[in-house]
Structure 1
Amino acid sequence: MSKKITLGFAPTRRNIFSADAAIKFANLTRNKLNELEINYVDINDINADGLLYDDDGMHKIAKKFKNAEIDGLFLANENFGTEYECARLAKEFDIPVLLWGPKDEAPTADGSRLRDTQCGLFAIGKVLRRFQVPFTYLVNVDLEDPEFKQGICDFIKVCNIVKTFKNTRILQIGPRPFDFWSTMINEGELLEKFNISLSPIPLTELVQEIKHLQATNDPTITNVIEKLQSLAKIEITTENLRMVATLKVALTNKMHKYGCNAGAIQCWTALQDEIGILPYASESLLQDEGTPVTCETDIHGVISELLIEAATLGDEKAIFADVNCRHPEEKNGELLQHLGVFPFSTAKNQPVLPKSHFVFDYPGSVAFEAKDGNYTLCRFDGDNGQYSLLLGNAQTCAGPYEQGTYLWLKFANLNRFETKLVYGPYIHHIAAVRADVVPVLYEACKYLDITPDFYDPIEEDIQAYLRGDINSIVKEL
């Protein structure tokens, strides 16, 4: 699992039940977390039991977890548990909370029970609600049941989504193009509601960085050229290839200068007037490095990319596409195509850097079909003070050759998907990854003050998956 995510492990007990049994199951839980390679902060040093059950311990645990800057809190109810201490601890943080307890054993010969764990889970859940602490419940199963591994691993992904979202700073290079009123955003609201900040710079600042790199003959440019040559069939001139590489280095430098983990750029046409190329091949390189950059200054679009990639723990890179054309033969088929902002790693065959773009008569774009598979699609968007996350799945299907970067997808019902985009608050730009991460994105929404929204009626299936009742929500179309 991801070493970037650290859990605070707080096993709990209640005094009227067996402390020895709670200690035993807490240690078994520790062993399982170690087996799954979960990165966690323990509380063995807080008291003799290594458990949460009183105020003194709670304050010490809270201090330790804050110093460790944990990303999620794991409340493991090893017997009935002390519900108010669990709630008090959780209230100290603004992070995802996982609640679970191991299934109770059969009663002893005299009819007594050592732990009464399930009963305690009901109590803890109620008190967390009283404290207005959102939480994720992992059902009452044994450590060796597959539902436990699924639940803990999915919770790590939820933590990664929340951590990414709450620590996002976006490099905005130039204003949105005049004609693109659909990519208009409220910068103040993003900061006030979500702590997402923008670092706006004019296009001229980026151009000045390019000129500086050219004047100093930065050796990093040569490294980028060599990488492009290893990744793609190069049809552009040596001079234009060098400019693609220089732009990539300039964008990276500006990201670092302003502490940004993503960007959005006014990709046409002022930039071409200054440097003679389109930015898409440069952006594709950045996408593969985990710092996505979207075109047409689509701020909400790049947030969508960050969310969906975080849901995969970075194992899959997101394509960013226009939803723009129905399939000529397949009733539920749709073309996802873009100016060129697909990571090179998502290519089905060898990418090409064509002599010119199919719309703009400039070099600097990329052309390939994306890999086949099952995709999750998402779009973060909002207006009038309300924000939501459009979610769903689709599968690749065969379709005609297209210029640029593209992907044909088959939906369960294309009309439902199309209608969602038209009625909004979404636009036709969407992020997609080749993985089934709808459930973890859905679960993360409760921690982000975002409304999950679906273009297919799958919410019951998602909840069944999160309960451990089904293994996947993706169905063959």
Structure 2
Amino acid sequence: MAKFENIPDVKLGIIAVSRDCFVISLSEKRRAAIVKAFAGKGELYEAKTTVENEKDMLKAVDEVKNAGCNALVVFLGNFGPETPETQIAQKFDGPCMFVAAAEETQNDLINGRGDAYCGMLNCSYNLNLRKIPGIIPEYPVGTADDIVKMIEEFIPVARAIIGLASLKIITFGPRPQDFFACNAPIKGLYDIGVEIQENSELDLLVAYRAHKDDKRIADVVKEMEAELGSSGNNFPDLLPRMAQFELTLLDWAEANKGCKKYVVFADKCWPAFPKEFGFEPCYVNSRLAS
């Protein structure tokens, strides 16, 4: 199958915050420990700007954006400044997870005490006040190793959020009569930023027929034959039509992405397929889904 980049690449950054009545080096030291513990597990950009106030917040957000980050870990190395730490998620265009440092020891309760657990409670309250969709783990306070585990669990969540924000769903109609399950609740999809493009099945048929002598068909047929194997290729005469349809959809996706980056198809196997297309498209749909 033609290479089709349709899965977001999560590029993580971490920003530490510090309340100005606490020692800033505490947050910076704890941030560095997380980055060290995460080494070898993926890419994690360490923002060197530690946020104590709103100007720091703007500088830190610019720093991670310039580094190409599309997802953020906001780390409360101590209690944290409630306004600028939540503004990070407000100004950053991408998913943000909020986590906080546990106290490593009771031996240094002057410079080594961070009160990040308490700060996390205030942070969550402020996120709600501002209606900012920050992501908070079930238990968001921990050591460097604990937070690394939270980051690993955050990555697939971030990938889904990034993908949905840049997704277009392409459908082909009309929807079958008296089959209301096919009438997708598109308002809910619009609410989360997904774009929807509904097309005529006649337009799809025209595009399919225009691919009749596409020079790429033979290569796709060979790929399908290899995938199915001798025991699974029960209808070899249908493979050229399947390949023609697969190329039609891939070309349609590229030509119709518009302002979005990712595409999924919500297609069906009826009513015109068996008669007008000459096959059922389920095999092609499964290949695209894979």
- TM-score strictly above 0.5: yes
Check the 8 A contact 1:22/1:115 in 2, yes or no. Answer: no
1:283 paired residue number: 285
**How many correspondences in the alignment?**
274
Query: Percent same amino acid at aligned positions?
Result: 19
Q: Distance in 1 between matches of 2:11 and 2:72?
A: 9
Q: Please state whether the residue corresponding to 1:226 is helix, strand or coil.
A: helix
**TM-score (norm: length of structure 1):** 0.53
Q: Equivalent residue for 1:244? A: 242
Q: How does 1:300-339 map to 2 (within 5 A)?
A: none
Q: What corresponds to 1:387 in structure 2?
A: none
Which has more helix, going by share of residues? Answer: 2
Q: Is the 8 A contact 1:174 1:200 kept in 2?
A: yes
Paired residues of 1:13 and 1:19 also in contact (CA < 8 A): yes
Letter matched to residue 276 of structure 1: G
**1:17 and 2:22 are equivalent in the alignment:** yes
Which of 251, 260, 276 is matched with 1:253 structurally? 251
**1:53 and 1:249, CA in 2 relative to 1: closer, same or farther beyond 3 A?**
same
Counterpart in 2 of 1:29? 34
Give the Cα–Cα distance (whole angstroms) in 1 for the partners of residues 181 and 277 of structure 2: 27
Please report how far the alpha carbon of residue 99 of structure 1 lies from its aligned counterpart in structure 2 after TM superposition: 1.6
How far 1:279 sits from its partner (Å)?
0.8
Deviation at 1:266, TM superposition (A): 4.0
Asked if 1:204 is matched to 2:202, the reply is yes
Name the counterpart of 1:221. Answer: 217
Letter in 2 for 1:114: G
Mark the CA change 1:186 to 1:107 in structure 2 (over 3 Å): closer, same or farther: closer
| Match runs of 1:50-449 below 5 Å | 50-67=49-66, 70-93=69-92, 95-108=94-107, 112-116=110-114, 117-138=116-137, 139-145=140-146, 148-187=147-186, 189-190=187-188, 192-215=190-213, 217-218=214-215, 220-232=216-228, 233-238=232-237, 240-259=238-257, 261-288=263-290
Q: 1:52 deviation in Å?
A: 0.9
- Of 8, 17, 23 in structure 1, the residue corresponding to residue 13 of structure 2 is 8
Report how far residue 85 of structure 1 moved. 1.3
The 1:122/1:93 distance shift into structure 2, 3 A limit, reads: same
The alpha carbon displacement at 1:56 in A equals 1.7
The Cα of 1:87 is off from its aligned counterpart by 1.5
Deviation at 1:250, TM superposition (A): 1.0
1:125 positional shift? 2.4
Distance 2:184 2:127 in 1: 35
Tell me, yes or no, if the aligned pair for 2:47 and 2:64 is still in contact at 8 Å: no
Q: 1:60 to 1:245 in 2, by over 3 A?
A: same
Q: Supply the distance in 2 between the matched residues of 1:66 and 1:96 (Cα, whole angstroms).
A: 13
Tell me which protein shows more strand as a share of its residues: 1
Q: How far did 1:264 drift?
A: 2.0
**Kept after mapping to 2: 8 A contact 1:106/1:113:** no
Equivalent residue number for residue 412 of structure 1: none
The alpha-carbon distance between structure 1 residues 136 and 275, as it changes in their structure 2 partners (threshold 3 A), is closer
Cα offsets for 1:345-375 (capped at 9, x unmatched): xxxxxxxxxxxxxxxxxxxxxxxxxxxxxxx
Q: Is the 8 A contact 2:172 2:267 kept in 1?
A: yes
Alpha-carbon separation, structure 2, partners of 1:149 and 1:236: 50
Deviations 1:77-97, CA, capped at 9 Å, x for gaps = 112222221022222246432
CA displacement at 1:192 relative to structure 2 = 4.2
Is the alpha carbon distance of 1:84 and 1:237 closer, same or farther for their aligned partners in structure 2, counting shifts above 3 Å?
closer
Change (3 A) 1:23 1:195: closer
Q: Which structure has more RCO (C-alpha within 8 Å, separation ≥ 6)? A: 2
Give the secondary structure class of the aligned counterpart of 1:199. strand
Deviation (angstroms), 1:33? 3.2
Consecutive unaligned residues of structure 2, counting only runs of 5 or more, are 1-6
Output one character per residue of 1:163-212: Cα deviation in whole Å (capped at 9) or x when no partner. Answer: 2222221121221112312211354x256423322222222322222322
**What RMSD in Å do the two structures reach over aligned CA positions?**
2.4
Q: Measure, in 2, the Cα distance between the counterparts of 1:87 and 1:149.
A: 21
Deviation at 1:127, TM superposition (A): 2.3
Q: In the TM superposition, what whole-angstrom CA distance separates every residue of 1:430-462 from its partner, at most 9, and x where no partner exists?
A: xxxxxxxxxxxxxxxxxxxxxxxxxxxxxxxxx
TM-score norm. by structure 2 comes to 0.84
Structure 1 pair 132–198 and aligned structure 2 pair: CA distance change class (3 A)? closer
Q: Once the 2 structures are TM-superposed, how far is the Cα of residue 278 of structure 1 from its aligned partner?
A: 0.9
Q: Could you tell me how far 1:237 is from its partner in structure 2?
A: 4.1
5+ long unaligned stretches in structure 1: 45-49, 289-477
